[in-house]
């Protein structure tokens, strides 16, 4: 069975060495007490729970999957008990307002918890994870009574929540949804329709499930402007069972431990949440945050795979190094001596650590946007968050899937066999590029809505940071890295301008460039963070440190990233410049 | 359930329009009768069998998998009956020598059959597919008696064969294998050991299974020079059951319909095949050919995925085109209007058709090497085959897996669900990068053994063809394509020289460059074939054709390939030039 260790030192490196997390918290009154001691204590407890309780259930969840019997879902052995421990330890309430029973810790720490839990067992982590959308939506749009009734129990973890958006004929295109909400005499609504792909839609972990459902009122306008939100609890406040049942479970490629449900609403009782017909607007904040949660999934599977493949590469003896035996007393050399195995390991290492920097940086903008005290800083954080979220979601899940495959490849044929856990990791990782908006949808959000619709304002927020860094770090040791970064940073702006001008002539140019633009952006963003990490490591070594080797490894990984990963921008650049013509030239019947 | 159609017109395009397959056959006396009529009749029959019999069993095979009961393996429902039909139709004997009951058709047609069967149902196709190694090895190294006893039954299809190489501690590094062969008084050998990952190692499709087993004689030298080959039939010629049994079946990510066996040889009776201690040499021809068979797997999964995702993209309505509705009377536009969906479809199309050209071209070299009448042509074919085989194996399986994932991505969340068949396709495709030598091993074979050890001779065989094409086709319409191809062709040689020089100083440079070199080579090879296809299409259109749209699509796809796929060479080029330093700098404990 595949063990995992929470990469605590690497997490601390990003938080404290790279981003000065203590200063970040001190600048926000609510979080002023969240010092390194608090964070480290949380990490220690999280590590114990994730390594000892959740990780051993990961393969179990994949093998057993969920069972539907008489409209009740049974989760895999041990899932329920693990959830009880999770609730008893108070984890669900970590980042919620104290007003509703939360502990009031920064949301960036919630992202860290998400990462920790997900590295150990992503499918399990989705049960508490899905509650966040419901909690967030209730906190922002619920009445006092609704928050008292539902939010407090969700915060406690006694109940979990879902978001019911998708229907068979509409995923991306929510304007087409058909679920109906008819007003009842008592002021509630009767909800009818079928929702699909509802993660954690039915299960035996908690005593109640609060569904937040998108539906149409009888007089609603067509399209996205006629969608309202409803609270539809599985068990109604008066204790009766509501008319929402799981019709079937999907048979999926992976995340078998999580129940993906078809939910039938047959005149279920629902309560309007927020304003009529404003449901989709209410969804936007939630969706952006859910996307950051999914971004982290890419990191989780990459970290899991990296740990497994690194251990295997040190252990597996096969062939001799081309330059002669490195393990002359053994029958062969460990495969970590082979440059190509190292290429696969370093790609994983560069991605996991680099995307951890991107994820934490982005999550810290959440804290500032929600709780900052300076308006300009809040605006900057909001812009950075808007800009970086689709990049993080799509880039991290695409690259995370690639890394999960590199891990498998390090195992040779053994990687294809269930026992090592790395094939499950590939299957589990694959969903992340699809749900919460596919890569293509993230790319349109980034290039269309976030960049071009703001005339490049959100992009400039980020490129300014890079520019500032490059100016401040043009020293001899880092020169190659910094120069390369500065060139990309300039090119990024020029490229955006180029696409923007073409898009004014033909809006299809946006769709033609979007995914390449997003991936390009991801590689440049990671280059920025790796350059910062190298600069920080250099500084630490110059100061004198007992962890010299640890910091040297950061510099070496940065050099690997710039030499072997960043050049991927060249193919994306060329593809974008080629324009929409080569995509639209083909007639449909010529495919 | 996912239907498939054999892409007969595209197969004919490559054979007849592009490569003049009739002339190819006429130049070889044994194949002079294999005209277009014969090939088209074969394609027609194959299409019926693959579409109607094999394709419907593809999902069944995945769901049921194989069952081991009391050392007997039961294959999925319908597999046995399909095999009986396959044998009754004479397919197993197609490319074998008439001397042993074969039909004596060119091996290139065997590759076409492999592609057809594998597109419909790869896991099923492995049962007859694995026989080829055994047949080939017996034909080349068997005594007359051995060929009479075993080969004729294999050719007939009454029996199937396996190749038993891998052991738990050695896959790539066969020098470490431990299975023993002790001489018996009757001239046979007693074989003891455990082999793993034996595809089709035990099953209920045929009455006997002929295992070709790698083992060591008592006095054998250590390492690869002490390996001998043995014939170990499941049922001995006297009708008794031999002591070779399936100990367990592997639980795999995919290809569930094929039985991947642990085989225990407990003093099984075996017969020496070929010379003692020369087993590995005898394996080489077989392995090169098996690799071409696996290369085709990449094409099969890409074709399967392309057909599914294309149909879905035409059918699924979601969102409006950015330039305004294309299906104004419907609730939304079909997703094929979106440029990014087209990017994914065109990537699949460019790969499937391009790699089909590469596969057929390579397979045609087999025909010439084995049966050509001109020594210089035979030598050229042998060189091209040696050079192109590792490229085809690794590049086509890597890119094939990518394409299987693009297909899935076109389905959005629905792609992750079992019912559409595209998630199975991803799982099934994944093995191809691992077995028959991983991508890393193919890359070392290509750069080390095939290119540098021949001082670039095999590479020049191919670049000369490209050079000749570019000179002959520098017309105005194709100028951009041809110029780009010619630049790459020159760069390919320079790059090889550059790596060769570095490798003289440090042999690890070969390992550091190998995979990027292989992928670079694959992209350039496909560029050559796409340029040829475009030139041919142009010629057909100029001549006047009733299939103008068909040929125009070839030109458009070539343009897409050159604009959006070929630039991937830039990242591989940069990575190769960065050298071994960034891979070896990291100490093992710094990972």
Cβ atoms B336, B313 nearer than 8 A? yes
How far is residue A557 CA from its own chain's centroid? 23
Interchain proximity B197–A413, CB inside 8 Å: yes
Phi-psi category of A551—alpha, beta or left, where left has phi over 0 and alpha has psi -120 to 50? alpha
- 3-state SS of A298-331 is HHHHHHHHHHHHHHHHHHCECCCCCCCCCCCCCC
On the CB side of A555, how many CA atoms lie within 13 Å of its CA?
18
Fold entry, domain B161-278:
Butyryl-CoA Dehydrogenase, subunit A; domain 2 (2.40.110)
Report pLDDT for B220.
97
Report pLDDT for A482.
97
* Residue A238 C-alpha, separation from nearest chain B C-alpha, in angstroms: 36
Determine how many CB atoms are found less than 10 A away from the CB of residue A207: 11
**Close Cβ partners of A582 (under 8 Å, ≥ 6 residues apart):** B346, B556, B559, B560, B563, B564
Question: SS3 for B212?
Answer: strand
Report pLDDT for A1.
61
Average pLDDT over residues B527-548: 97
Q: What is the largest CA-CA distance in chain B?
A: 84
Interchain proximity B571–A575, CB inside 8 Å: no
**Close Cβ partners of A45 (under 8 Å, ≥ 6 residues apart):** A89
Q: Which of A156, A293, A164, A173 is nearest to A229 (CA)?
A: A164
Residue pointed to by tokens 């401040």: A472
Beta strand A260-273 with A159-164 is unpaired
A591 touches chain B (CB under 8 A): yes
Interchain proximity B434–A427, CB inside 8 Å: no
Interchain proximity B557–A346, CB inside 8 Å: no
* Residue B565 C-alpha, separation from nearest chain A C-alpha, in angstroms: 8
Q: Which of A339, A310, A334, A273 is nearest to A140 (CA)?
A: A273
Mutate to test the interface with A, among B173, B310, B572 (most CBs of A within 10 A): B173
Structure tokens at A107: 């949301």
Determine how many CB atoms are found less than 10 A away from the CB of residue B228: 23
- Cα(B185)–Cα(B215) distance, integer angstroms: 18
What residues of A act catalytically? 436
B273, B380, B449, B570 from B456: Cα distances, Å: 35, 14, 10, 22
Structure tokens at A87: 């609730």
Q: Which of B54, B143, B42 is nearest to B95 (CA)?
A: B42
pLDDT digits (tens, 9 = 90+) for B93-140: 999 999 999 999 999 999 999 999 999 999 999 999 999 999 999 999
Polymer length of chain A? 591
B443 CB neighbours in chain A (<8 A) are: 340
Phi, psi for A224 (deg, rounded to 5): -70, -15
Report pLDDT for B1.
61
Q: Which of residues 383-402 of B touch A (CB under 8 A)?
A: 401
A570 touches chain B (CB under 8 A): yes
Beta strand B159-164 with B208-215 is parallel
* Residue A508 C-alpha, separation from nearest chain B C-alpha, in angstroms: 6
Instruction: Closest CB to A310: pick one of B321, B322, B591.
Output: B591
On the CB side of B579, how many CA atoms lie within 13 Å of its CA?
10
- The size of the A-B interface in CB pairs under 8 A is 266
B366 touches chain A (CB under 8 A): no
A321 touches chain B (CB under 8 A): yes
Interchain proximity B431–A418, CB inside 8 Å: no
Q: Which of B147, B176, B174 is nearest to B163 (CA)?
A: B174
Mutate to test the interface with B, among A564, A572, A587 (most CBs of B within 10 A): A564
Determine how many CB atoms are found less than 10 A away from the CB of residue B135: 28
pLDDT digits (tens, 9 = 90+) for B325-335: 999 999 999 99
B491 touches chain A (CB under 8 A): no
Q: Which of residues 542-561 of A touch B (CB under 8 A)?
A: 549-550, 552-553, 556-557, 559-560
What residue in B sits closest to A551 (Cα-Cα)?
B590
B559 CB neighbours in chain A (<8 A) are: 582, 585
* A461-A464-A465 Cα angle (round to 5): 95
A349 touches chain B (CB under 8 A): yes
Interchain proximity A440–B507, CB inside 8 Å: no
Q: Which of B188, B241, B238, B186 is nearest to B215 (CA)?
A: B188
Interchain proximity A253–B426, CB inside 8 Å: yes
* Residue A198 C-alpha, separation from nearest chain B C-alpha, in angstroms: 11
A433 CB neighbours in chain B (<8 A) are: 409
* Cβ density class B95-111: b for 16+ within 10 Å, e for less: bbbeebbbebbbbbbbb
Structure tokens at A368: 């500032």
Instruction: Closest CB to B343: pick one of A444, A515, A571.
Output: A515
A550 CB neighbours in chain B (<8 A) are: 590
Instruction: Closest CB to B252: pick one of A171, A418, A583.
Output: A418
* Residue A525 C-alpha, separation from nearest chain B C-alpha, in angstroms: 18
Q: Which of A318, A572, A120, A538 is nearest to B174 (CA)?
A: A318
Structure tokens at B313: 């993209």
How far is residue A87 CA from its own chain's centroid? 22
**Residue B35 CB burial class (10 angstroms; 0-12, 13-18, ≥19):** middle
A413 touches chain B (CB under 8 A): yes
A379, A489, A492, A510, A566 from A496: Cα distances, Å: 22, 11, 6, 10, 18
Report pLDDT for A275.
96
A172 CB neighbours in chain B (<8 A) are: 318-319, 412
Interchain proximity A172–B319, CB inside 8 Å: yes
Helix axes A339-371, A548-560, angle to 10 degrees: 100
Cβ atoms B395, B294 nearer than 8 A? no
B574 CB neighbours in chain A (<8 A) are: 563-564, 567, 570
**DSSP 8-state code for residue B425:** H
What residues of B act catalytically? 436
Does an H or E element contain B393, and which? helix B375-410
Cβ atoms B43, B8 nearer than 8 A? yes
Structure tokens at A326: 């490195």
Residues pairing with A191 in the sheet: A181, A268
Per DSSP, the residues of B15-57 read IIIIT-HHHHHHTSGGGTT--HHHHHHHHHHHHHHIIIIITHH
Alpha-helical runs (H) found in A332-421: 339-371, 375-410
Average pLDDT, chain B: 97
What residue in A sits closest to B168 (Cα-Cα)?
A414
Mutate to test the interface with B, among A5, A253, A323 (most CBs of B within 10 A): A253
- Cα(B161)–Cα(B568) distance, integer angstroms: 40
Instruction: Closest CB to A556: pick one of B322, B419, B590.
Output: B590
Q: Which of residues 156-175 of B touch A (CB under 8 A)?
A: 166, 169-173
Q: What is the pLDDT along chain A (591 residues), one digit of tens a residue?
A: 689 999 999 999 999 999 999 999 999 999 999 999 999 999 999 999 999 999 999 999 999 999 999 999 999 999 999 999 999 999 999 999 999 999 999 999 999 999 999 999 999 999 999 999 999 999 999 999 999 999 999 999 999 999 999 999 999 999 999 999 999 999 999 999 999 999 999 999 999 999 999 999 999 999 999 999 999 999 999 999 999 999 999 999 999 999 999 999 999 999 999 999 999 988 877 788 899 999 999 999 999 999 999 999 999 999 999 999 999 999 999 999 999 999 999 999 999 999 999 999 999 999 999 999 999 999 999 999 999 999 999 999 999 999 999 999 999 999 999 999 999 999 999 999 999 999 999 999 999 999 999 999 999 999 999 999 999 998 888 999 999 999 999 999 999 999 999 999 999 999 999 999 999 999 999 999 999 999 999 999 999 999 999 999 999 999 999 999 999 999 999 999 999 999 999 999 999
**Residue A236 CB burial class (10 angstroms; 0-12, 13-18, ≥19):** middle
B118 touches chain A (CB under 8 A): no
Interchain proximity A252–B416, CB inside 8 Å: yes
A444 CB neighbours in chain B (<8 A) are: 340
What residue in B sits closest to A172 (Cα-Cα)?
B318
Average pLDDT over residues B220-234: 97
Interchain proximity A512–B416, CB inside 8 Å: no
- Cα(B153)–Cα(B158) distance, integer angstroms: 5
**DSSP 8-state code for residue A277:** T
Residue pointed to by tokens 């041919």: B536
A89 touches chain B (CB under 8 A): no
Question: SS3 for B377?
Answer: helix
Per DSSP, the residues of A205-243 read SSSEEEEEEEEB-TTPPSGGGG-EEEEEESB-TTSPBPS
Q: Which of A441, A467, A353 is nearest to A389 (CA)?
A: A441
Report pLDDT for B282.
87
Instruction: Closest CB to A413: pick one of B171, B553, B568.
Output: B171
pLDDT digits (tens, 9 = 90+) for B423-441: 999 999 999 999 999 999 9
A420 touches chain B (CB under 8 A): no
- Cα(B272)–Cα(B293) distance, integer angstroms: 26
- Cα(A79)–Cα(A75) distance, integer angstroms: 6
Residues pairing with B180 in the sheet: B192, B216
Pick the CATH number of A8-153 from 1.10.10.10, 3.40.50.10320, 3.40.50.150, 1.10.540.10: 1.10.540.10
A311 touches chain B (CB under 8 A): no
Report pLDDT for B475.
82
Q: Which of A108, A535, A553, A525 is nearest to A349 (CA)?
A: A553
What residue in A sits closest to B320 (Cα-Cα)?
A173
- Cα(B309)–Cα(B352) distance, integer angstroms: 13
Beta strand A208-215 with A159-164 is parallel
Interface confidence, given as ipTM, is: 0.98
Structure tokens at A359: 């994820």
Answer yes or no: is pLDDT of B285 > 80. no
pLDDT digits (tens, 9 = 90+) for B143-167: 999 999 999 999 999 999 999 999 9
* A282-A288-A293 Cα angle (round to 5): 125
How far is residue B486 CA from its own chain's centroid? 28
Domain ranges of chain A: 8-153, 161-278, 454-582
Does an H or E element contain B190, and which? strand B189-199
Does an H or E element contain A572, and which? helix A568-577
Cβ atoms A32, A99 nearer than 8 A? no
Report pLDDT for B500.
98
């Amino acid at each position: 069975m595949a063990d995992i260790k929470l990469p605590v030192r690497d997490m601390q490196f990003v938080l404290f060495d790279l981003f000065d997390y203590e200063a970040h918290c001190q600048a926000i009154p609510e979080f002023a007490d969240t010092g390194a001691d608090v964070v480290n204590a949380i990490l220690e407890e999280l590590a114990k729970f994730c390594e000892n309780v959740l990780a051993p259930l990961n393969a179990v969840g994949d093998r057993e999957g969920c069972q539907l019997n008489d409209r009740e879902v049974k989760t895999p052995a041990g899932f329920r008990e693990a959830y009880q421990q999770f609730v008893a330890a108070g984890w669900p309430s970590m980042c919620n307002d104290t007003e509703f029973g939360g502990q009031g810790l920064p949301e960036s720490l919630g992202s860290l918890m998400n990462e920790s839990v997900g590295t150990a067992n992503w499918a399990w982590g989705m049960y508490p994870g899905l509650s966040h959308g419901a909690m967030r939506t209730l906190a922002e749009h619920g009445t006092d009574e609704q928050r008292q009734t539902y939010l407090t129990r969700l915060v406690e973890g006694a109940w979990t929540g879902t978001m019911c958006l998708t229907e068979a004929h509409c995923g991306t295109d929510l304007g087409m949804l058909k679920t109906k909400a008819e007003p009842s005499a008592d002021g509630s609504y009767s909800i009818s329709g079928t929702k699909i792909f509802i993660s954690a839609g039915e299960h035996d972990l908690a005593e109640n499930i609060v569904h937040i459902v998108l539906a149409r009122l009888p007089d609603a306008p067509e399209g996205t402007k006629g969608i309202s939100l409803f609270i539809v609890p599985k068990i109604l406040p008066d204790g009766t069972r509501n008319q929402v049942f799981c019709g079937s479970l999907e048979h999926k490629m992976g995340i078998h431990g999580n129940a993906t449900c078809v939910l039938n609403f047959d005149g279920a009782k629902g309560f309007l949440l927020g304003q009529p017909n404003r449901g989709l607007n209410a969804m936007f904040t939630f969706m952006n945050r859910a996307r950051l949660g999914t971004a982290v999934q890419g990191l989780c599977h990459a970290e899991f795979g990296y740990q497994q493949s690194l251990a295997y590469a040190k252990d597996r003896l096969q062939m001799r190094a081309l330059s002669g035996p490195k393990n002359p007393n053994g029958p062969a050399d460990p495969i970590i001596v082979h440059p190509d195995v190292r290429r696969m390991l370093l790609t994983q290492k560069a991605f996991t650590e680099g995307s951890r920097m991107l994820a934490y940086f982005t999550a810290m903008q959440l804290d500032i946007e929600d709780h900052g005290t300076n308006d300009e800083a809040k605006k900057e954080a909001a812009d950075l968050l808007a800009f970086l979220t689709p990049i993080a979601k799509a880039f991290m899940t695409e690259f995370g899937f690639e890394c999960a495959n590199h891990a498998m490849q390090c195992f040779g044929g053994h990687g294809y066999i269930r026992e090592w856990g790395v094939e499950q990791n590939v299957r589990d990782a694959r969903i992340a590029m699809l749900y919460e908006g596919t890569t293509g949808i993230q790319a349109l959000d980034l290039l269309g809505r976030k960049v071009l619709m703001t005339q490049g304002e959100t992009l400039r927020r980020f490129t300014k940071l890079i520019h500032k860094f490059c100016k401040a770090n043009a020293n001899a040791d880092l020169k190659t890295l910094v120069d390369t970064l500065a060139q990309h940073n300039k090119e990024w702006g020029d490229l955006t301008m180029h696409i923007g001008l073409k898009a004014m002539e033909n809006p299809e140019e946006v769709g033609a460039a979007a995914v390449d633009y997003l991936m390009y952006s991801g590689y440049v963003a990671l280059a920025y963070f790796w350059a910062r990490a190298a600069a920080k490591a250099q500084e630490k070594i110059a100061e004198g440190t007992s962890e010299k080797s640890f910091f040297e490894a950061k510099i070496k990984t940065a050099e690997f990233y710039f030499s072997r990963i960043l050049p991927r921008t060249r193919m994306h650049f060329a593809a974008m410049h080629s324009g929409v013509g080569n995509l639209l030239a083909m007639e449909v019947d010529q495919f």
